[in-house]
Structure 1
């Protein structure tokens, strides 16, 4: 069984009386696709973004049993007025719940909240869970503020209290040290690292030990920085016992690596050598399948690189599906997906 934990949705339409700052979808001549218009953005959205039947067909074609779908990241517009951001989030969440209802064992939907207003975002979580959404997606920074900033701590505490998973999607922030061509590549990697590191350094990870949180694209460059962080914490190489005389910043609490091993990471890193390093450093029990589909083309078949790595059975089972059910806290979903997968296999 394979569950793609990083895929995206877009609503098909928006209310006619929506605020002018909302996106809208325009028809494309002689096509079932639609054009997303959001400020300066013009994005041709394939039908699979918003039609449940097309999503299921696409999963079948790629040999994927289920997807965790989250709002397309450009919808996370934290620059909107707070009231408009909340209205947009509720519209997207309604659509996400409706999309999932067509095939709940195969389309698992996350929603969004207006993080520009931390109090409103926190208050919205309970309603999202009641609505049947499986978790919440947030960006890696909020108008340039790291998610580990103390002003966001109540949000994460409430997510932990509600047992509601969080998905952090890397998003560019204002940066003038790299050209614009780096926004979707290097900057996304930097942003993922900043987001995860800020939760460790800012105290959120310590304050929320039971928070279930996942990072897109393995939190960018985090894994390469963790051994150095561990040395500064404990003064030893290779995660050997701490040598406090060598430690630059002695700390008797959990090490940076121990904190990082509480998080989940999708393994969409484009290279089997990187995946092997992530398994070795963080553990196979921390990794998820991810594709960014349909914003990006999925490997064919889905998770092809992982399939070809000939991982031990337990590691493959963890990465391909068990970890995503642990992150979501949805054993019931796992049972339903297994049954649905067996039925599909028998029907072939």
Structure 2
């Protein structure tokens, strides 16, 4: 069984009477595709984004048994007025519920919330289970503020209490140190690292030990800096016994590596060498299959790189499906 834990959706329609600042979907003559118009954004959306039957056809063609659908990241617009952000989130969540109803055994869904208003976002989580949503997608920063900031701790505590999965999708923050061409490549890696690190450094990971949280694209460069963080914490090379005399920033709490091994990471890192490092450092029980479909083309068949790595059967089964089910809070038997 293979579960694609990083796949996106777009609603096929938006309310015609929505405020002018909210998105709309425009038909494209002679095509089943539609054009997403959202301020300056113009994005041609394939029908698999919003049509459940086409989605299932694409899954069958690629060998995908189930998908975890999350909103296309440009919808995570925290610069909207809170009321507009809430209206947008509720529309997207309701549309997601419609898609899930077409094939509930194969489609799992994540909703969205207006985190520009943390109180409203936290309150909105209460209705997710009724909609059939397994969790929530958030961006890696909220208007440039780290998700590990203490103002968002009540939100994560509520997600933990409700047993909802959290998916953190790397999104650019205001930055002028790299050219715009880096927004989809280097900046995504940097943002993933910042987000995961902030959950540890801000105390949220320690405060929410049962929180099931996943990071897109393996949280960028996060795994590469963890051994250094562990050395600063405990003073040991190669994850040996702590040596307080060498520790630069000693801490009697859990080590950064212990906290990082509570997170999940999708393995869409484009190279088997990186996947092997992630397995060795974080564990095969922490990785998920991901594709970014249909925003990006899947490997054909799905998870081809993983399939070709000669993984132990237990590791392959964990990464291909069991970890995703655990992250979602679903039954892993069978």
Same fold, judged at TM 0.5 (above): yes
1:236 is aligned to 2:236: yes
1:207 is aligned to 2:207: yes
CA distance in 2, matches of 1:130, 1:281: 38
Q: Which runs of 4+ in 1 moved over 2 A?
A: none
Equivalent position of 1:32 in the other structure? 32
Equivalent position of 2:9 in the other structure? 9
CA distance in 2, matches of 1:272, 1:250: 34
Equivalent residues in 2 for 1:143-158 (5 A)? 143-158=143-158
1:226 is aligned to 2:226: yes
Give how far 1:28 is off: 0.5
CA distance in 1, matches of 2:220, 2:104: 30
Equivalent position of 1:324 in the other structure? 324
SS at match of 1:217: helix
CA distance in 1, matches of 2:35, 2:46: 9
Please list the CA deviations of residues 181-212 of structure 1 after superposition, one character each: whole Å capped at 9, or x if unmatched: 00000000000000000000000011100000
SS at match of 2:297: coil
Question: TM-score w.r.t. structure 1 length?
Answer: 0.95
Equivalent position of 2:112 in the other structure? 112
SS at match of 1:227: helix
CA distance in 1, matches of 2:258, 2:71: 30
Give how far 1:107 is off: 1.1
Please list the CA deviations of residues 122-148 of structure 1 after superposition, one character each: whole Å capped at 9, or x if unmatched: 000011122111100000000000000
CA distance in 2, matches of 1:172, 1:185: 10
1:297 is aligned to 2:297: yes
Structure 2 gaps, min length 5:
none
SS at match of 1:110: strand
CA distance in 2, matches of 1:24, 1:16: 8
Give how far 1:238 is off: 0.2
SS at match of 1:311: coil
Equivalent position of 2:264 in the other structure? 264
1:287 is aligned to 2:310: no
Please list the CA deviations of residues 197-239 of structure 1 after superposition, one character each: whole Å capped at 9, or x if unmatched: 0000000011100000000000000000000000000001000
Equivalent position of 2:182 in the other structure? 182
Please list the CA deviations of residues 16-37 of structure 1 after superposition, one character each: whole Å capped at 9, or x if unmatched: 1111111001110100100000
Structure 1 gaps, min length 5:
339-348
CA distance in 1, matches of 2:322, 2:239: 27
Equivalent position of 1:308 in the other structure? 308
Equivalent position of 1:346 in the other structure? none
Equivalent position of 1:48 in the other structure? 48
CA distance in 1, matches of 2:110, 2:65: 17
CA distance in 1, matches of 2:45, 2:36: 7
Give how far 1:310 is off: 1.1
Equivalent residues in 2 for 1:159-170 (5 A)? 159-170=159-170
Question: TM-score w.r.t. structure 2 length?
Answer: 0.99
CA distance in 1, matches of 2:222, 2:10: 29
CA distance in 1, matches of 2:43, 2:198: 31
